Structure 1
Amino acid sequence: MWSSWFRSRHVRTAAALLVLLALIGAWIVHVQVRDRLKAGESRTGEYSLSSDFRSSSTFELPDGGLSVTVEVGEEATKYDDWSDRTRVRAPRGGRLVEVSWSPQSRQSDRTIGVTQRPSSLSLRSGGRTILLEGSIEQSDDTSSGETSKERLVAVPGDLADLEIVAGFAGRQQSVRVLTGKRELGDFATLYRPRSDLALQPVDVGPDNDRYVRGNGFRWELRPVVGQTSRRPYVEGLGWAAAGREWFVVQGSGYYSLLGSAAEWSSETATADYNATRVTTTVTANGTRPSRTVTPSRNQQDPSTDRVISDLTFSVVSGAPVTLSTVVDAPLTRDDRHGAETEAPKTATLHRTSVLAYPGVVDPRKAS
């Protein structure tokens, strides 16, 4: 009788201990969910992925770039407040991919004002494309990291199938995560070596100071050529035609100090001349621009007589470009402070700037 009572008491004690341990375990880890995701499903939040592969890529885009990091694994865990825990597993025959991405702005390019169109980012694997974000806006300041986003995605197929796809204005480029092999498509010219982009033009124009010798004129009004870049896409014009690209000139026109377009002088007299009408003709390899944008007068420099336009030309991709800027203006003598009859009453200003930009590598032909 007593032995039976003791045995029963031991059983009750053991059961109570098991219940207590279960309660303690539930207090330490409130909830544990183990879920196998379906291909195409995604999760947000701070998941810790047991990864066996990691890689980073940067995509060049007409309005900036995208920095993307991926980690690939089989299982991920997220710890919430009060030690709640959620575990997710890869789909059968697939993988879990943790993706983080952020836009990379290029300040020097944005000043040209080519485009600010949003881009998109997707994963492609096992014949399926999974959109991560469809409208990524470029930021002027990505140093704080506030523009970075992250997502855990279940994809079909194995690591060798996995691609990251960046889209812009209806076109796509991709990179294979495992090998780093890229399909650049219409974005290829954005991947030129930086050494090519830094090449400076050669001044091959005539010596305009020749007008000073023999007739007494010094020309104050002169052609101006600003910053240039080569682009596959320009907002308002779209993608360049096959085998061509856009040659963008920011700041092309004429410039002179207010007050005179030219000065005439002799041993005994001087005279200033004003331009009654200025004509500027700009060509690239002999062709006129496809688009001209001229800021309003209140956007021009008020301390100068200056008219500057942003021009876009269609040129053969990677080919040398000869940029010619011709300024013509009829001049009249300024007699407001008394006429200098020794000086000619009228004159004609004709000045030419010719800059030769060297050819650059076209990655589509070099690969």
Structure 2
Amino acid sequence: MIVSFTIGHVPYLFCSKKGCHSIKDILESLTLAEKNNIKINREHTFSNGKRIDILINVRDTMIIAIENKVFSSESDKQTEVYEKSIYEEFPDHEYLFLFLTPNGKLAQSENFKSISYKQLVNQLKQVEFDYRRDIRRKIIFDEFILHVEEYMMNKKSKSISDQTKLYLEYQDTIKKLSEYYKKDSLMVFEEFEGILKNFFGGDKRVFNIKQERGFHQVYKKTWNRTGLFIHHEFWISSEDILSRLDFEYMIEVEGKEKENFFSLFQKEYEKMEGEYRERGISYRPDNRKIAIAYKRIDNYFRPDYVGENKLIEELEHWKFIESAIDRVHKEFLRLYTVK
């Protein structure tokens, strides 16, 4: 049976063969076991694939169906389809169909009763809570009312900021500027890539460099063996090469045999510790334990950098580490059989 519905002194009035009762009266009359038998489903899906926003099943005798339309309009016969689906899925129930909109717009189905956010808030505010029994639920309930008032009734979510209006006004210009930025970023990144290839050079090196990726590797072919992988690594990309203040440069050791290599290299590091310190290079820092050399260096490619590009000079300062790697690598191959 469909119940009647009013907004006024008696909130959400149900009228059936048993008489008329408000939702408040009905809920207060429920036992604890019955209260636990109230099922609330969001986005309830019917057998035809259609979904209604909220469906509340009270004691398997009463269905409260709510369709909330914030921005969009009701699609063709949407509420009528929901109504029919509910009758089929929940026969012999009492029903209350609510169509919730910002301004109380009418639904296509006559049995879906129109209710606005303001009316909803007025009814919610009439609900009484005992703070002493459940203060957490009261706080959540009040926050929900505040959310409805501020973001749904006042339509803050639909308001357009001055920044958005400015963007819309200049979006064509912004698009063109973005295209110029991307083009220039790629050009500058190619300069960065060219410096690496010219400095390291030779066919005995492998250059694993990809423009839009955030890291790039350079290594000698002999440094990449089963169980051991030693390489220079640079953390920068074509997307941020014009904007970053600095970037990370390191020499890393990876692979299942790396601990053996670290043990051997430790002796070399102890001899070079002063040179490391003089050039501001860290050895196996906490944030990058696999790096036998680590440093954040200035991004010489950003447009506002004052002075000459010193990347080549920076790379030159690390040559003594490469020499140590080669010595340790030779000893490593002598002591350990790498399969």
TM score, norm. by length of structure 1: 0.27
- The structure that is helix-richer by fraction is 2
Which is bigger in relative contact order (C-alpha 8 A, separation at least 6)? 1
- The structure that is strand-richer by fraction is 1
TM score, norm. by length of structure 2: 0.28
